Each structure stands twice: as C-alpha cells, then as structure tokens.
Amino acid sequence: MQSRLVTACALAHILVLAGLGATARAEMASPWDESLSSRVRLLAGSVAVPPGPGEQGTGDLFLGVEIRIDDGFKTYWRNPGDAGIPPRFDWSRSVNVKSAEVLYPAPSRLADPAGQTLGYKHAVLFPIRLVREDDGAPADVQLKLSYAVCGTLCIPAEANLAIRLPAAADAGAGPSLAIEQGLARVPRRHDGQRLAALGDDRAAPAPALPRVDAVRLEEGSGGRRLSITVAQPSGARAGDLFVEGPPDWYLPLANATARRQNGAIEEVDYLVALDGIPASAALTGTMLKFTIVGGGAAAEQDWTLR
C-alpha cells in the first residue's frame, strides 16, 4: 500500500512539473490596449514552421503586433494609397533590443471616399523579427504604436505595449499559432532568378510565386507611365500589384489593363502613372519595390529602372 502511495505521489509530482513546463512554454502576450473601434496587443512566441529561404525558421523567437478592428473600420499598410495613415512603430524605450524589423502582411485594395486605399479589415498581425544586443540577458520590449482606424471618419490611435523576454537560454515563449499565421501572409522575397523563357515559350513553367517579369517606360497622352507585366499561375484568382518608389515619390495605385494566357502562365499588364514624382527625379537607376498578389500567394521583388 505504501509503495503504491509513493508511486502515486511521484506520478503527481511529474505531472505538476510537466504542467509547469507547459505553462513556461506558452505563447507570451501583453494585455490588450483598448482604443475606440480597435484594440492592440503584443505577442511573443517561437515559430514552428520556416518563414522561407534565407529567413528565420523553426524555433526562432518572433514578436507579433496584433490589431483587431471593429466591423466597418479598417487600418492601413505601410503605403496607405490615396488616403490614410500608415502605422508607426517606436521601439526606442526598449532595453537589450538591437533591432525590431516589422514584416508587413500583404494588404487588400479597399474603397474609400477619397479614392482607393491599401490596408486591412477585421484583424491584422504584424510579425516582428527581433534581434537582441545580448542573447544572454532578458529583453524589455517597449512599443509605442501610432496608427489610424477609419470608417466614415478616421480615428488616430496610440497604444503603449510592453513584454519582458527572458534570456535566450532560459525557458521562454512557446510556439505561437497567431504569429505563424501572420508570417504566412507576409510576401516572400524572390531570389532574383528569372523565369525561364517567359513570354516566348508556351511550355515555360508556371511561377511558384507571382512576379514582375518586365517594366517599360512609356509616354502617353497623360504623360510618362510605367507598363509592368506580372506573371502568375494560369487560372489563379485575380491578383493585384502595389508599387513603391523612393520616399519623395507619390505613385498612384496600378491599374490592370490586359490579361493573356501563355501555357501554364497568365500574364497581366498594369499601368502606373508617373505624375506624382519630383520633376528633377532621375528614373534610370531608381529602385522600385513591387508587392505582387496572385495565385493564392504574395511576393516582394525589387526592380532597378534602366
């Protein structure tokens, strides 16, 4: 009888320790910061799936800034489009944080009384790639987030969020499904390899990701413009293209003008007017950033104008 009691006590002790271990490995989260029509919190957790080639992978710690938005409202991408306010992330009060890189999920094109905007409805999570000054010490992460939530009217909002991360060698945050889902919406970077024979070989392989294949400078009746050809898998859902230039450039949203089939590839032509760039701006050598959505995937690609 005594032996059974000792065995039961030992088993109970093991279960308690296992429960404590599970608690220690849970996702970490700050309290919600409530604002009118939205709320925000800061998450920390390890990533159980690789984000992509050359990026952080299994077991790496990420943060996540999660915004939940009331029905009828929206918030904005880093380039808000014709109107709106992009989010601003201030990490300056953090301790033992070398860098915090914000990764932006692909946005949607949204109708607005002032035109077309780029952003998110209902909810969005911005994954944050965190690098500490010293992995052997805890990190006190402090974020001041400025953003806007817009319906009929725009409401500026501000949130102050904090989370303490233990030293990297200590038991810390466990896997975070929310951060993994946020990472899945972040456009993947192209590795620079050009699609084989695109445009003149009907047997050309369909791209795994949508991508820009050609950029041409044209002179039209309304002035200079860019003609951009995007390639995506044939039969994919209608996609979109978002173009960013230098900070002092304003580029209107791209308009799709033509679609054509090329075997397993569908090519989509877009036009972007260049009437919002400085008169003295040199086009040759300017770097553009494309965010391409199509085929159920999103990609990010740099392009130097020539």
Tell me: pLDDT of 141 over 90. Answer: yes
**Per-residue model confidence (pLDDT) at position 262:** 83
Q: Is the per-residue pLDDT at 236 higher than 90?
A: no
* CA-wise closest residue to 46 among 56, 60, 57: 60
> What's the pLDDT at 61?
81
| Mean pLDDT value across residues 177-202 | 65
Q: How far is the C-alpha of 219 from the C-alpha of 231, rounded, in Å? A: 23
More confident residue, 93 or 20: 93
pLDDT at 23 over 50: no
Count how many residues are written for the chain: 306
* pLDDT surpassing 60 at residue 17: no
| pTM score, whole prediction | 0.82
Name the residue ranges covered by the structural domains of the chain: 27-186, 211-304
Helices (H) and strands (E) in the chain, counts: 2, 20
Mean pLDDT to the nearest integer, 59-80: 92
**Token pair recorded at residue 30:** 């700050």
Question: What does the pLDDT read at residue 39?
Answer: 97
Bridge partners for 272 per DSSP: 226
Query: What token pair was written down for 218?
Result: 């044209």
Fold of 27-186: Immunoglobulin-like (2.60.40)
Residue 82 has pLDDT above 50, yes or no: yes
| Average pLDDT, rounded, for the chain | 82
Classified by CATH at the fold level, domain 211-304 comes out as Immunoglobulin-like (2.60.40)
Average pLDDT over residues 34-47: 93
27-186 and 211-304 agree in CATH topology: yes
Q: Tell which wins on pLDDT, 275 or 254.
A: 254
CA distance 99 to 92: 10
Distance between CA 288 and CA 213 in Å, rounded? 13
- Given this model, what pLDDT does residue 49 score? 52
116 contacts 82 by C-beta, under 8 angstroms = yes
